[in-house]
Amino acid sequence: MSESNVKDTEKNQIPEDDVDKKKIYATEKKIFVDWIKAVCEKPLDEVKALADQYIAAGSVSNLKSLFEELSDAEGHRTIHFAVSRNHMDTVNWILDNDPECINEVDHNGYSPLVHACIGDFYEMSELLIKRGAEVKPAKGCPPIVQCVSKGSLRLLQLLLEHGADVNQANPKTNETPLLAACSNNRMDMVEFLLAHGADVNAAGDHHVTPLLLACISTNASLVECLLKHGADPLLTMDGGVTALHVLCEAGHTASIQCLLQHPAIGQLANKKSDDGLLPIVEAVQAGHRDIVAQLLPLTTELAGATVDEVMERFKPKPVEKKETPAAPALNAMDDEVIHHKKQEGVKLFNAGKYEEAIAMFNSALELNPNDEVLYSNRSSCYLHLKDYKRAMEDAETCIRLKPKWERGYYRKGMVFFEQQEYIDAATSFYQGCEIAPADKKLSGKFQECVSLGKHFYADKKEAEKNSDSDSD
């Protein structure tokens, strides 16, 4: 072989040290995967046998090293995996050999006891507490916060019996146990926490109180419960937004009735946000005339005005809407053509060809402009193209054509959701849930909006503030 060929061959070869590194990585990865799989799925005797095998082969020096050094990208170690699978015998064995790991937290700040609370594992939680788990930790997420979200009253009582603090917040999110319970609509937990001294007005990030969170989720029963326990409706989140501002925008009359009976309603009705908006103005701009009529007698600034005058004075700028023309009579052939075009449009949509899908749906709408499914499908296409105005028009047309079809409300909610208008999105998803309570997609989105809605006004205010600082 010539010298040049030797050099070319050497140039195309992977250096030996790189090969060694890849082999080491592959070996370590296999050890980790096999180990975690065993901890999660195998009985204790098989887990012990695998550990002995690793130590004998020199893969790890001892059990403590095995428990502490192997972790995934989220910081979950052996103890976390064993607890999350509720393997009590494995957990006992781990703690016998490495008792210090009892309070080890992952990257989310979750200790083994927190993972037990997430799974609502009462016996596991009891075991961990007996072996030294911190119920009121100095760092990381307090177990009680996850317990009120995912667990049972029985488990909550166990934590309280061992010193849990009903007001200890998660330092990472500033979420108190009461806020967590409200966020998950856990009325049983809310009532229990309040009965055991939870601060009904303790706020989390962006000064969101439990009452404000209940209003964001439009849960009238929760609003009523919190008010009965002393929740202050005059407290504001970032932006000077009150509970009444939130409800006026959402149009949730049942929750507003609770506030109308509160002694502070006079102050509340006249309290402006940092943007200078009265609650009644939010109701006007959201189109809730009945709420305007209820608040007008309480709003001193508008004394003497009629509902019509207030609606006219503060009405939002009109948005052009396309009217749906009357559908011509369809024959069997037209029906078949429309069905075919729908199918082709869906295929194009699934292929990510949204503009072509719109063209196909448009073609079908020419034959039947009153087909709610076509508007629903086209709305989704526009949403993927970030044409929110047209997506909303089609969603609202879908609702107008078939008010009792939950899909229209889902489409409308998604338009709001993609624009981070979480309160409006939650309202739309909730309307869909009322029609189809078993629809997990709708209920899941509603819960997501409730959680995200806690930061809605604050994020909006922060964006406006940044915009002002960037201007000349």
100: how many CB neighbours lie within 10 A of its CB? Answer: 11
* Res. 5: pLDDT tops 60: no
The better pLDDT of the pair 22, 58 is held by: 58
Rounded to whole angstroms, how far apart are CA atoms 243 and 208?
10
Residue 152 banded pLDDT, cuts 50, 70, 90 = very high
Report the 3 state secondary structure along 39-58: HHHCCHHHHHHHHHHHHHHC
Residue 426 banded pLDDT, cuts 50, 70, 90 = confident
Q: How far from 219 is each of 211, 455, 460, CA to CA, in Å?
A: 10, 18, 23
Which of these ranges, 163-172, 376-385, 445-454, has the smallest mean pLDDT?
Answer: 445-454
Q: What's the confidence (pLDDT) of residue 99?
A: 96
Nearest to 198 by CA among 186, 189, 207: 189
Residue 26 banded pLDDT, cuts 50, 70, 90 = confident
Q: What's the confidence (pLDDT) of residue 433?
A: 79
Rounded to whole angstroms, how far apart are CA atoms 429 and 409?
6
The better pLDDT of the pair 65, 424 is held by: 65
Residue 237 pairs in a beta bridge with 241
* Res. 369: pLDDT tops 60: yes
Residue 245 near residue 274, CB atoms below 8 Å: no
Rounded to whole angstroms, how far apart are CA atoms 327 and 370?
6
Nearest to 260 by CA among 284, 219, 291: 291
Torsion of CA 434, 439, 442, 445, to 10 degrees: 130
Q: Which alpha helices (H) appear in 229-303, and where do they start and end?
A: 243-250, 253-260, 265-269, 279-285, 289-295
Helices (H) and strands (E) in the chain, counts: 28, 0
Residue 206 near residue 238, CB atoms below 8 Å: yes
Q: What's the confidence (pLDDT) of residue 205?
A: 85
Residue 21 banded pLDDT, cuts 50, 70, 90 = low
Average confidence score pLDDT of the chain: 86
Q: What's the confidence (pLDDT) of residue 268?
A: 97
Q: State phi, psi for 147 to the nearest 5 degrees.
A: -65, -45
Q: What domains can be seen in the chain, in order of their start residue?
A: 200-318 (1.25.40.20), 340-470 (1.25.40.10)
Residue 443 banded pLDDT, cuts 50, 70, 90 = confident
Residue 218 near residue 247, CB atoms below 8 Å: yes
Rounded to whole angstroms, how far apart are CA atoms 10 and 204?
62
Residue 6 banded pLDDT, cuts 50, 70, 90 = very low
Residue 106 near residue 83, CB atoms below 8 Å: no
